[in-house]
Amino acid sequence: MNQLREQAGRPRSSEERPQDASRYGDAALMPPVDVVEDANGITLYADLPGVSRENLHVQVEAATLTIDAEVDLGLPEGLQASHTEVGLGRFHRTFTLSQELDPDRIAADLSNGVLKLSIPKAEHAKPRRIEVTAA
């Protein structure tokens, strides 16, 4: 499964950071990811609990796939937390895509906090049968 390689994410600039994340700097949670490969390509499943479609950004630039998401961790008006275990409201993860994958045909679906990315193999990387003729 040499088709996908994880990279360290680049820190966001101050313009890209959400206002309430300033106390954490560029810190982000790294979402757990499962990668499944078959003859047609790979499927990547990333756990992003609490992320809405509007706060999810999936981007491919050159051979780099970036998943960036934010969660609204605010409390309802009038309530105050007495204990919190998750203080970061940002997910970030980057991967390098293999030349065998076709970044132009990636399909993304977010359902119940799980992002599913289907990344098909490029046509030149798919196995093909070669016909043999007798002379």
| pLDDT tens track for 69-123 | 998 777 788 888 787 766 668 999 999 999 999 999 999 999 999 999 999 998 8
Quick one: pLDDT at residue 11?
A: 45
At 14, the pLDDT band (50, 70, 90 cuts) reads very low
Quick one: pLDDT at residue 17?
A: 39
The amino acid sitting at 132 is V
Q: What's the chain's average pLDDT?
A: 82
| Burial state string for 7-28 with b = 16 or more CB within 10 A and e = fewer than 16 | eeeeebeeeebeeebeeeeeeb
Please write the tens of the pLDDT for every residue from 19-69.
Answer: 444 445 578 889 999 999 998 899 999 999 989 999 999 999 989 999 999
For residue 85, give Cα distances in angstroms to 60, 63, 81: 32, 35, 10
Sequential DSSP letters for 64-115: EEEEEEE---PPPTT---S--S----EEEEEEEEPTTB-GGG-EEEEETTEE
Q: Is residue 67 within 8 Å of residue 93, measured between CB atoms?
A: yes
Quick one: pLDDT at residue 45?
A: 98
Quick one: pLDDT at residue 12?
A: 43
Quick one: pLDDT at residue 3?
A: 64
As a whole number of Å, the end-to-end CA separation of the chain is 39
- Give the predicted TM-score (pTM) of the model: 0.71
